[in-house]
Copies of this chain bind each other. A is one copy, B any other.
Amino acid sequence: MSQNIYDNAKFFAEYSSLDRSVKGLDAAPEWPRLRSYIPDLKGLDVLDLGCGFGWFARWARGTGANSVRALEISENMLNRARSMTNDTKIVYTQADLDNTNLLKHGSGIYHVVFSSLTLHYLANLPALIQQVQSSLKPGGTFVFSIEHPIYTAPSKAEFITDEASGREYWPLDNYQKEGLRVTHWLGAEGVQKQHRTTASYVNLLLKAGFQIREFDEWYPTPEELEKCGWHRVLQRPVYLLISAVKN
């Protein structure tokens, strides 16, 4: 089973105060790029893997999606998501994506599968990606973001500043060593992720029967940089965004 740190009360309180938790999609600087990968949802059936507070699910319905099935491991997050809508065409379900059956409602039933910053938590990703492929209609689209493999790889994932030159760099090591990484985040020690290389993500998709349609190592435009202040993202990518289409 995946770690469920979002149901740790202290962590949840910290997470809930993040800009993207309070203000939703428009506070996520990578959202405009990710949104550009999503087809017109009018009348379409959508699956959301790791829905969090349900910002995407509500947005999808707002743009005309016929239905959204939204899965999430954290009861805290699901309760908050449920409290924010009374739309009966969004079905929120508790699910551990490392150990779930996406096909229990049938195969070939979704037009779009979406996942934001979730898949890098999963040890059992190959099985999930195969299920995503089976759950999509032919020609269906799988759009997701993950923490970039350059970001997840290091044994100690913190920038270093060279005192003599002032140069700031990301100490990359262990890139090819896939598997568990334990980091601290939002005041919590022991946040567990699964590092995979970029090649592994691409090959999982190709082998499952997807074509790569879009591929972006997101970084801010000068205007976005002004707003989000993430200058370090220019030194090394933090998110990888992919759109893949079922063959």
Interface assignment of A59: CB less than 8 Å from any CB of chain B:
no
In the complex, are the beta carbons of B199 and A236 less than 8 A apart? no
Interface assignment of A37: CB less than 8 Å from any CB of chain B:
no
Please tell me which one of the listed residues B154, B176, B199, B215 contacts residue A169 in the complex, with CB atoms under 8 A apart. B154
In the complex, are the beta carbons of B172 and A167 less than 8 A apart? no
The tally of residues in A whose CB lies under 8 Å from a CB in B reads 36
Determine how close the nearest CB of chain B comes to the CB of A63; give it in whole angstroms. 25
A171-B170 contact given A206-B215, A217-B198, CB 8 Å threshold: yes
In the complex, are the beta carbons of A203 and B215 less than 8 A apart? yes
**So how many copies of this chain end up in the complex?**
2
A171-B169 contact given A199-B215, A212-B212, A215-B202, CB 8 Å threshold: yes
List residues 130-154 of chain A with CB under 8 A from any CB of chain B. 150, 154
In the complex, are the beta carbons of A236 and B197 less than 8 A apart? no
Find chain B residues with CB under 8 A from A228 CB.
Answer: none
List residues 187-243 of chain A with CB under 8 A from any CB of chain B. 197-199, 202-203, 206, 211-217, 219, 233-237
Please tell me which one of the listed residues B167, B176, B212, B214 contacts residue A173 in the complex, with CB atoms under 8 A apart. B167
- A residues whose Cβ falls under 8 Å from a Cβ of B: 150, 154-156, 160, 162, 167-177, 197-199, 202-203, 206, 211-217, 219, 233-237
List 16 additional contacts besides A160-B171, A173-B235; criterion CB under 8 Å: A150-B172, A150-B175, A154-B169, A167-B173, A170-B171, A170-B172, A171-B172, A172-B235, A177-B234, A197-B237, A198-B198, A199-B216, A199-B217, A203-B216, A206-B215, A211-B212
